Structure 1
Amino acid sequence: MSLLTTLARLEAVRSGRAEPLATVRHRHLSDRPMVLVPLTAAGESGAPLAVMLGTDRERPRVHLVPQPLNRTLRFDFLAGLAADLLPYLESFAEDVEQIEGSEKDPETGEKTQVFRELCSDAPQLIVPNGAGVQHLALLGRSTRFRRTAEDAEPGPYPAPVRVPLLGRWLTHLTDRAQVPGTCLLLSMTGLLARHWATGQSHLEDQHLAARLAWHAPPDGLTGAEAAERAESARDDRGQLLHPPAGPATDPQFDEAVLAPAIARYDAAAAALRHAAEQGDEPAAERARDAVRAAVGQLREALTAVLLPTWRDVWHGLDLLRALPPAGHLAERWTGDRWSYTGHRDRLAAGEPPQPRQDDAVTAARKLAQREREQARLDVQEALDDPLAMAEHRLAGEAFTGVVTEVVPDYDTSGRSPKPRPLVTLRTTDRPHADLGREAHRVRGFPRPEGGAGPSAQKAEIAAVDQAAGTITLRVLSGMGRRKEPEPGSLPEPGEPVTFTLFELTVRQSAPLPDPDETPWTHGGPPGAAPAAGPSAAAAEEWE
């Protein structure tokens, strides 16, 4: 946790309200997000109990498992979820745009022009908290390898046809969620935590209702008091007014409401089986009515638990939409669109499901990608948001000041002199400004409506006078190719400027070999079985 975040949390404790950590919205929000609130059975982290989902806040849909221990009912639940979720995920696959590029011929080495399809938009799933993302990952892992009745060897307990496809999509979305800055799958508590600080711990922030209580506490209550009420307030039946849905259920709800409802269903289902075995049609019809009534009561109870969290997620979206979008959102969302398009193409090509465990090269590629995207995200957020840049200034990684003097100077060591002007600025910051250290001046900022992004001007620190509060930098680039700096390429005296001690462009990581070229110690030859799923190079191409 950065110093600025710590200060914001302390200020939230003092003020009793959530304090801003950003001046702009750093995550893309779809015009038509799919909100998904899952519930799991107690003691069974991978056993689904119910889910509420939809793109319309006024018309949510609920799927439930009347008996979570029944494998057939669990598959029926997954089939219903797939029938609801897959059309949304696949609805973005047809509207595409053609992106021009080039590729090198492996034989001649010549570059040829190619066009690739890029989906114009992509889906976005939003769950209440990080535990919801983990639950979807478990569902994906447990379903993408399931055999169906259409397989050559379906085996016992074949899954409905669309369930493995749902598992592959969930696995892709949850894998992509591990990449910093991506927005295909987001948790609402994570979104709020990036933009506001509360006076409670990160663990307490995972309770969505408690976190939202800090944003608008009732009159006469502080954020802490409102959060405590949201966590613990109960009705006259002893049930929570704001169930966590995280995705675990409240133990008192399990004991007083859920267990009796499941027991009624079990009794009705047992009576139906007995009547069917005896051939007693009137008794069977009464048992069917009892089963329907038991399912209806269970649906009513689970809907009451899910609805408060459903409303909280949409309320969080309203808070986030009130912030202006950051300048680099479109660029990062384009990366998500490439990821979605690549997975669409892999499914269309008939490639096998993602492997249970990545080979060494694929794992290294994923790790390198996540490190690279984290560095890129830190830079982009600093360029988009003064509060994010302030964190770097407090850490001594950037400084802002006012130019006091610009002195022309030249490098005469080469054939022709090159301009190397000296820029002096006065600053109250205390950066780690060692002599000769590389610095980068940010020139211009991207606008939310688009336009050119910022360009960097490379410099080096030539002198530091801590007593006077001045820093002198020698500008090395960004002045044009003439013998004299181009007009406007240098700051003027009195102009505020910002320099960073980190690069504003992220370097690519070193290339990695193909899996079949790695040694046997890392899963390669000799005699290594090929890993299921897309090759590392193919996955990297679209990510």
Structure 2
Amino acid sequence: MSLMTSLLRMRAATTGHAQRASRLRHLHLNDQPLMLLTLKRTGPAARPLAVMLGTDPRHPQLLIAPPSGSTTPMLAALADTVTAHIDSRKQHTEHLPATANKPARQRYSDAPQILVPNPQTVQHLKALGDDLRFRTVDDRMPGSRSVQRLGHWLTYLTDRTDIPGSAALIPVTDFLAMHWITGQSPLEDEDLTTLLAWIDPPLNAASGRDAAQQAEDPATHRSAGPATDAAFDNDQLAPLFLAFARAEGGDRARILQDLDRLLAAYLQPTWDRMWQAYGLLQALPEAHGTARRWVHERTTFSKECDHLAHDGRPRPARDEAGAAATRLVVRERTAAAFAAERAADDPFVRAELRTTGEAFGGTVAGIDPERIVHGPTGRARWRPRFTLSTTDPVHMEPGQLLTSHLRRNARYQLCEVTYEDDATLVELEITAGMGRVISPTHAVLPTVGDFLVLTQAPDHYQMPELPAREHTPWTHGGPPRDRTDDSGEDGTEQ
């Protein structure tokens, strides 16, 4: 926890009101996202109990799994709704011309977006996806193929939550906590009810703290899922399940109606809070870098649709070592780029990074605007240098590439840091954004006395270079996978 975050949390605890931690919204929000609430049964981790979902806050769809028997009909109905939402984002495409590295291709103009209450729901959907995508398809069973396809999409969406800045599947508590700091612990922030009470308390509440304390009343508090409250399980669910097991025929239908009403009443408050949170987040101005990240989301979605259309094999239960290494590098680089873009966009984020030494602000003390260097080929390059005087901590190494929100296209390379008694002098070289020697862009040059805040430059994602499969050791998924083992069974994946 940074110094700024600690300060805001203490201020929230003192005043009783949540504090803004971000001036802008850093994730894209669709006009009609799919809200998805889940409840699961105790016992098998992925066995669902109920799902409430939809794109209309006034008309949610409730799907109930029977207390005993097959859940396939309920999962097939869930698959139909989720697939319909995904297909609705595939109505329009845009043409991308060929480049030096990629052929011409089509990309969808939109992508699906699903909002869930908390990270625990993401883990439940991940477990459900792992279970469903490997199910055998039996065309004699209605819904069998759509249920397997649901497992594929759940795996894709939950995998996207591992990518910082992705907006395909968003836990709302994490989204809110990115933009507001409350006076409770980060663990307590995972409860949607108390988190929203802090951020947007009712009009009759004296403060967010008082509203959160009232929301914690065990008599009225309801978990946002996927696990249910123990008291609810024992006092209300268990008697219905027992009655269902003992009943026959028409009595079972009546008990299922009672179960439907009970679970609808349980989920409705969370459903309303999800749309309340959506309204709060939608009202925030969108950050500049959000549009670029959503374009990447659409690109990834388009590739996944192509995979399903031409291959369709489910992702393996475990990644090979090479694939796992690639996924880790992608996550690390994307996290660094997301953090840098947030800092370039948002003054609140820049202020926090200045307390940690990951950004610094200072006054231009001197500049060499006509500096020219010659590259290995002898070509002249314009490389102005200037010195920034700052009292902020500077925890960066020479060679670090920096940017300023005032001149987003410019790049500054940190050359040298000199510590003096009353200030720190940072020498910087402008390496991009100033044009060429024959046609320089002087607007990028600061003047003596200007105040600049510099943050790490976004490192746009590039796939790491890995050896070809035939050059990869067998320990990392190389050629032995296609050979016959000693037992005489083919080791190729089906």
User: Above 0.5 in TM-score?
Assistant: yes
How far apart, in 2, do the equivalents of 1:141 and 1:385 lie?
38
Paired position in structure 1 for 2:231: 252
2:274 partner SS:
helix
Question: Does the residue aligned with 1:232 lie in a helix, a strand or coil?
Answer: coil
Partners of 1:131 and 1:246 within 8 A in 2:
yes
Equivalent residue of 1:457, what SS? strand
Any gaps of 5 or more consecutive residues in structure 1?
Answer: 105-112, 235-240, 273-287, 446-453, 533-543
Show the counterpart of 1:403.
Answer: 364
The 3 A distance-change label for structure 1 pair 485 and 311 is same
Distance 1:46 1:141 in 2: 9
Q: Kindly provide the CA deviation profile for residues 55-112 of structure 1, in whole angstroms up to 9, marking residues without a partner as x.
A: 0000001001121x42x2x1121112112221111222231111112356xxxxxxxx
Alignment of 1:63-462 (within 5 A): 63-67=63-67, 69-70=68-69, 72=70, 74-102=71-99, 114-150=103-139, 160-218=144-202, 219=204, 221-234=206-219, 241-268=220-247, 271-272=248-249, 288=250, 290-408=251-369, 410=371, 421-432=384-395, 438=400, 440-442=402-404, 444=406, 454-462=408-416
Displacement of 1:484: 9.5
- Equivalent of 1:511, from 465, 469, 489? 465
Supply the AA of the counterpart residue of 1:380: E
Q: Find the counterpart in structure 2 of residue 448 from structure 1.
A: none
Q: In 2, distance between residues paired with 1:213 and 1:30?
A: 24
For the Cα contact (< 8 Å) 1:439–1:499, is it kept in 2? no
Show CA shifts across 1:355-381 (max 9, x none): 111122211111111111101101111
Match of 1:477 among 418, 431, 446: 431
State the shift of 1:246 in Å.
Answer: 2.0
Matched, 1:56 2:53: no
Q: CA deviation at 1:146?
A: 1.2
Give the partner amino acid of 1:84.
T
Q: Distance in 2 between matches of 1:24 and 1:411?
A: 39
Shift of 1:384: 0.7
Does the 8 A contact of 1:53 with 1:62 survive in 2?
Answer: yes
The alignment's C-alpha RMSD in Å is 2.6
AA matched with 1:376: A
Choose 1 or 2 for highest CA Rg: 1
Query: Residue 30 of structure 1: SS of its match in structure 2?
Result: coil
Q: Matches of 2:449 and 2:215 in 1, distance apart?
A: 51
Q: Does residue 424 of structure 2 align to residue 490 of structure 1? A: no
Does the 8 Å CA contact 1:144/1:167 hold for their aligned counterparts? yes
Give the aligned length. Answer: 482
CA distance in 1, matches of 2:396, 2:112: 45
Structure 1 pair 431–119 and aligned structure 2 pair: CA distance change class (3 A): same
Note if contact 1:440-1:457 (Cα within 8 Å) is conserved in structure 2.
yes
Identity, % of aligned positions? 37
* Higher alpha-carbon deviation: 311-320 or 480-489: 480-489
Q: Deviations over 1:402-430 (max 9, x none)?
A: 33443456467886886554534443322
CA contact (8 A) 2:412 2:429 kept: yes
Shift in CA distance, 62/460, structure 1 to aligned 2, threshold 3 Å: closer
- Preserved CA contact (<8 Å) 1:433 1:464: no
Secondary structure of residue in 1 paired with 2:216: helix
Partners of 2:416 and 2:185 in 1: CA distance: 44
Q: Which amino acid aligns with 1:207?
A: D
Distance 1:420 1:362, change over 3 A: closer
Relative to structure 1, is the Cα distance of residues 26 and 116 closer, same or farther in structure 2, using a 3 angstrom cutoff?
A: same
* Cα 1:317/1:405, change in 2 over 3 Å: same
CA apart distance, 1:247:
0.9
Residue 433 of structure 1, CA deviation: 6.3
Deviates more, 1:9-18 or 1:182-191: 9-18
Query: 1:421/1:146 Cα in 2 relative to 1: closer, same or farther (>3 Å)?
Result: closer
Letter in 2 for 1:428: T
